[in-house]
Amino acid sequence: MDKLVIDGGRKLYGKLLAQSAKNSVLPLLAASILTDERVTIFDVPAISDVSCMAQILRELGAEVNFSGGDVVIDSAKATEHRISSALTRELRSSVFMLGSLLTRFRRAACAYPGGCEIGLRPIDLHLNALKRMGARIEEREGYILCSCDVLKGAEIALDFPSVGATENILLAAVKADGTTRIEGAAKEPEIVDLQQFLNAMGAKIEGAGTDTIAIEGVERLRGIEYRPMKDRIEAGTYLLACAVCGGEVEVEGVRPDCLGLLLHKLRENGCKIHTKNDKIRLASGGRLKCNRKIETMPFPGFPTDLQAQATALNASAEGCARIVENLFETRYKYVPELRKMGADIEVDGRNAFVRGVARLHGASVTCGDLRGGAALVIAALGAEGVSDVLDLSHLDRGYAGLSENLKSLGANIRRVRV
């Protein structure tokens, strides 16, 4: 077991290239099972969620090989339709395999998905959509059992623009009989990336990035080589770290429009931001001002995956902030850990009320989930004194080389074995 030891108070300077997006790579890996030809995905981040998805594909019978930062998937010999409960419960994105497996094998079985404990995250939208397309679904002893004679195109209206449900429908509809139309689809950039990936394989999909997506089923998909989009959440995390610490940092690879509302909020804090093409440069000096209100919403709203990091910023800014978490009901589990560092935060349901303090102080804190863990790292970087950040398994799910990247910017941070 490792921990991060962070001596806070150092300003950050330098440049970073964002890694490929975790939230894009995982559904792309799930989509690779849709063809029996070889698929190569470039620049895959070395994170544990990717390793877990690769192991799921291997259990299905696919060959998965890593070469440098690339991964090659050959699922020609894949025959298994069941995902072990151990892997399913470890990785929420395993739910994407339902659509892929139904498309490939007409059967699918997996336990209820896991991942970070940030709320119930029911998958009713996924299952109801698959039923609309002709799937038979049983829920027995903690397992979801799906089967179909044939998947058929359908009109599907989502009550909520769920990213996971939208992606699962795409994977189920891409070879279905007829045309599928999704109304109320999620509009996240990762949806657009999945459409581009599938269309490069020979799919016929239009409308990703809008409320309405149309998928015309095709008979077969081919193997491809593909480079995923960069990680806007990782980029936002480093920008928030620089804002808290002070200094000047440039992150390359992410279009500014993918982080539009975050950049607006950072300007509201008092940061100076310059953007050009896929480069975002942030300069921060002096004590920041609190945001009046941050409310998480589906894209293009403020990302729930950056809520905790933004709360850490406001904890040591001047004034008071109200944070509203609309997507996940228990995403404030990190708040007691921030309080150990001197943060003044009260949680009431989906609201967190932050009263900024002059400065946080070092403490021993424990990560309870991926983004909450990133918030603790940001808080420790800006705090006075030394902090120990424990249980890095959550951070390793989504950030490759976190301590090395921060050290390259000038942070006093090291990863040590406990």
Helix (H) or strand (E) holding 363: none
Q: Which residue has the tokens 């120990």?
A: 388
**CA–CA distance from 176 to each of 77, 104, 106, 209 (Å)?**
22, 11, 11, 21
CA dist., res. 179 & res. 184, Å (int) = 16
CA dist., res. 51 & res. 37, Å (int) = 21
Classify residue 16 by its DSSP letter.
E
User: Which of 52, 110, 116, 148 is flagged as catalytic?
Assistant: 116
Within 8 A by CB and 6+ apart from 107, the residues are 81, 101, 146, 147, 148
Say whether 116 is catalytic: yes
Query: What are 353's two structure tokens?
Result: 């009320």
Strands 225-226 and 39-41: parallel
The answer to whether residues 96 and 171 touch, using CB atoms and an 8 Å cutoff, is yes
Cis, peptide link before residue 300, omega less than 30° from 0: yes
CA dist., res. 242 & res. 257, Å (int) = 20
Query: What are 334's two structure tokens?
Result: 């990190």
User: Which amino acid type is present at position 204?
Assistant: K
CA dist., res. 102 & res. 200, Å (int) = 21
What value, to the nearest 5°, has the Cα angle with vertex 131 and ends 129 and 134? 120
Neighbours of 150 (CB within 10 A): 10
CA dist., res. 317 & res. 66, Å (int) = 43
CA dist., res. 377 & res. 101, Å (int) = 38
**CA–CA distance from 123 to each of 60, 165, 405 (Å)?**
22, 8, 35
**CA–CA distance from 385 to each of 92, 333, 341, 350 (Å)?**
36, 23, 10, 31
The answer to whether residues 306 and 300 touch, using CB atoms and an 8 Å cutoff, is no
The catalytic residues are: 116
